A and B are shown apart, each in its own frame.
Chain A
Amino acid sequence: MSIDIDTARKVAKLARIRVEEADLPALAGELSGILGFMEQLNEVDVEGVEPMTSVTPMRLKRRADVVTDGNIQEQILKNAPDAREGFFAVPKVVE
């Protein structure tokens, strides 16, 4: 499976990473090379094998559905590139 320029553009869009139009052919080539390497997996007979969901045969532990912390607004906002009046600030999303 080889990745063409349109697919590379689409993948970059889905990944929310800006890629300049001029860089798309190189990206498509790199991604195609890596996917080619992965094609080896098609040689394996996986009939009847379940996809692994957990590497250790353990049940995920459940925890009590209780509040364990809170009232830490200042700490949560401390590293934000733009925080105002107790909120994360972002460019306008709706008109």
Chain B
Amino acid sequence: MTHLNELTIAAARDALRAGETTAVDLTMACLTAIDAGDGLNAFVHKTPELALDMARAADTRIKAGDAPAMCGIPLGIKDLFCTKGVLSQAASNILKGFKPEYESTVTTQLFNAGAVMLGKLNMDEFAMGSSNETSCYGNAINPWRRGNDDTALTPGGSSGGSAAAVAADMCLAATGTDTGGSIRQPAAFTGIVGIKPTYGRVSRWGVVAFASSLDQAGPMTKSVRDAAIMLGAMCGHDPKDSTSADLAVPDFEAALTGDIRGKKIGIPREYRMDGMPAEIEKLWADGTAMLRDAGAEIVDITLPHTKYALPAYYVIAPAEASSNLARYDGVRYGHRATLKAGDGITEMYEKTRAEGFGHEVQRRIMIGTYVLSAGFYDAYYNRARRVRALIKRDFDEVFAGGVDAILTPATPSAAFGLGDMANADPIQMYLNDVFTVTVNLAGLPGISVPVGVDAQGLPLGLQLIGKPWDEAGLLNHAYVLEQAAGFVAKPGKWW
């Protein structure tokens, strides 16, 4: 028997509308699963009372026949989203105790649609990381293990808590954010679906900023259909975000026709990396065959500047971060260092930021400060922005040539062990984003779909990249891939 917390959004919605269950029962089932899942360290602030209030309100709406698709659906919310009156710390000690007086646009829209918040989810500090190991709350843990080996694995990052919570059925779905792969990589590591929409599709207002020209929020779900439903509720124009697109939001679920006959799928040759594990290579070939069998035309394409995406990203993202994170100064919110007699305002800034920011965040702020400093701005920052323009041009040319979507691996490996990268060069960790970061630089929509498992039983995902604003088409391609792959594996419950 399926427990209520294991349902998809689509199944729960249908059951709620049919009167077969209630939002309160769904919420209770999730709250029980959350308490039983403390060992995964996915939920870092639980809000059970708020959740039950919201669930009761949703049940009233459903009874009245006023039930949008997300009404009564229990969600986890990444700690990066500001939620009114509920701790929102971006997994950083510098925001210790921060309870926003306002609600982010994304959570406002979800809650207006009747969704229920179960609590806040673990993540890498300020979304800077690929393994959830930079969090002030400690590591989130992947519910998946290598066979019977009890080594703790990373759920990926930065949306690691979101991925672990969805994969472990503690919630029906979760919000994530993606600056260089932070939705798609953890989704791939945990066998779930994650979509980063086109830049500008989802409002960034009230989401703690990391790199404003790259950040986008999106849903992390158990199925492509759920991603379509939840994305629809998150999207839309927001006057409070000047980069939010004033475009109509299509019915994404209605776009899931399962018909991609005659569509052109590009396979980029530059994504075939040296030393790529044979399992990833095979997964990619299998996925390609699935789309071909569904009637799509497979074409080889070239994205010549791919190799320069990571170095360009690691100039641009820290540059923007150093500017965005300047606001954490110990004055308006969060942590302030204890000062010695005679300490002035500069000591307050310097001590506060040294105590409040973790090591990786400090490193990125300093890299960003350096590349923006006088004498280096042109050599690093402007050059990286020019390379970014070339990376986008590569994609523009491919789409202008008639390609509808691009298929690539989502990650260079399956989930790795927590602590495995502790002594590695920071660059080694950055390489996790090698297949995803181009999509942020070009502002495109990208989705990770679970397609298979490796020899040790760990999930592996493929990424589909779509045309700007074509989330509907992208989701349909992903739906076809999902149906063909028939990925149904779940982690064995050990926690």
Contacts and interface: CB of A to CB of B under 8 A. Distances in A.
B242 A60 contact: yes
Interface residues of B, number: 73
Interface string A71-89: 0100110111110000010
A70 interface: no
Given A17-B350, A34-B314, A55-B213, A49 B389 contact: yes
B268 interface: no
B353 A14 contact: no
A92 B343 CA distance: 9
A58 B366 contact: no
Interface residues of A, number: 51
Contacts of A7: 370
A61 B200 CA distance: 12
Contacts of A58: 200, 243, 245
B467 interface: no
B164 to A, nearest CB: 29
Interface in A20-78: 27, 30-31, 33-35, 37-44, 46, 49-56, 58, 60-61, 63, 72, 75-76, 78
A81 B390 contact: no
A49 B391 CA distance: 11
B487 interface: no
B399 to A, nearest CB: 13
Contacts of B213: 54-55
B337 to A, nearest CB: 9
Contact of A52 (B343, B345, B388): B388
A52 B389 contact: yes
Contacts of B137: none
A35 B383 CA distance: 13
A49 B349 CA distance: 38
Given A44-B308, A79-B99, A60 B243 contact: yes
18 contacts: A3-B370, A8-B366, A14-B369, A15-B362, A15-B369, A18-B347, A18-B353, A30-B426, A31-B366, A34-B367, A34-B426, A37-B314, A37-B430, A44-B383, A52-B389, A55-B392, A56-B199, A91-B343
Interface of A: 3, 7-8, 11-12, 14-19, 27, 30-31, 33-35, 37-44, 46, 49-56, 58, 60-61, 63, 72, 75-76, 78-82, 88, 90-93
